Amino acid sequence: MPVPTAPPAPWLMLVLTLPSKNASARVSIWRKLRRYGSLSLRTSGYVLPNTPDNMERFEWIATEIRKYKGQASVAHVQSFDDLPHERMIQLFVAERNKDYEDLIRQLKGSRKRALNTTSVRRRLQEIVALDFFKSPMRAKVEAMINAMDKSSSKPQSRTRRRGGSEFVNRIWVTRHRPGIDRCASAWLIQRFIDPNAKFGFAGDSKQIPDSIPFDMFGPDGFGHRGSDCTFETLCKEFSLKEAKVRAIAEIVHDADLHDEKYGCPEGTGIDRILKGWAKQQISDQELLRRGMELMEGLYEGIQ
């Protein structure tokens, strides 16, 4: 007769001790525990919801503590006798609410001074990643940021209509050996503008008749405009304003133009991967396909 298995414990607890004389180690560990959104208990333990990511975080911290000649154990906890499950959730939500309230204060203060909404959105994503139990205050902050963007945005001189016959079922042509801007732009085109888009490669767009050029040298089609990369140009032309798309636009911009405008280092790794693949004996189509898959993964990974 099979032995029944116990349900997985909902909590992880890190119990630790550090040498009292090593103040820098204590500060370093404390900062990491805060960065991971852990809840401090009066029993000198730190708690996180039981997920694979949180387990890995606690294990890395425990390893670091031992390097500092301290002691650390990671325990799976079914319940706390003085803190019911619902109360634990309330405590986690209350911690995230403090972070959301800080952002709200910044947004309200922006009425008297300029505020970089890019940095605010980045901070919002950091909080959301630790919002394990979905605080209702997230929606309030997002609404305030969206309202600020809407009020400060300038009307576009022209706007393309997504789904219009002019941009549907077309061949989109770009240069050979696509990098991050072209791969990201192709992903954007197929996901949001022309689901049946086909992609071609040429040194001159005229080599593929009746095609739509993007990120080609010259004035035709969609490319770099002003300080915008091609991905940003497409977003503006087709009024693509989804928050996750805007976040990708910033990542692609910094990786493609190397001006650190948005302070987004995430695209550097993607860019290096694409450049590594470009050195291999794979076709332009295969290189583009892999790059588009990377962008889809990035899109799904943004919360």
Could you give the domains of the chain? 11-77 (3.30.70.240), 85-152 (no CATH), 165-301 (no CATH)
Task: Label the pairing between strands 171-174 and 45-49.
Answer: unpaired
Q: CA 123, 128, 133: angle at the middle one, nearest 5?
A: 150
> Which residues, 6 or more positions from 25, have their beta carbon under 8 angstroms from its beta carbon?
18, 19, 65, 68, 70
Main-chain phi, psi angles of 116, to 5 degrees? -80, 100
CA-CA distance, 138 to 295, in Å (whole number)? 25
Burial of residue 27 (CB within 10 Å: 0-12, 13-18, 19+) is exposed
Coil, strand or helix: which one is 245?
helix
Write the CA distances from 81 to 78, 93, 215, integer angstroms. 10, 20, 61
CA-CA distance, 122 to 266, in Å (whole number)? 12
Strand partners, 15: 45, 73
Distance of CA 290 to the CA centre of its chain: 19
Instruction: Identify the segments of the chain with pLDDT beneath 50.
Output: 112, 154-159, 162-163
Give the pTM.
0.58
Q: What is the pLDDT of residues 79-105, one digit of tens each?
A: 998 899 999 999 999 999 999 999 998
Q: What is the pLDDT of residues 170-197, one digit of tens each?
A: 999 999 999 999 999 999 999 999 999 9
- Residue 102 burial (CB count, 10 A): 13
Tally of CA atoms within 13 A in the half-sphere of 50 that contains its CB:
14
**Is the distance from CB of 11 to CB of 48 less than 8 angstroms?**
yes
pLDDT, residue 4, reads 57
Please give the structure tokens belonging to residue 93: 């939500």
pLDDT, residue 110, reads 65
Task: Report which secondary-structure segment, H or E, holds 15.
Answer: strand 11-17
pLDDT, residue 158, reads 47
Residue ranges of alpha helices (H) inside 8-74 are 23-35, 52-67
Tally of CA atoms within 13 A in the half-sphere of 27 that contains its CB:
4
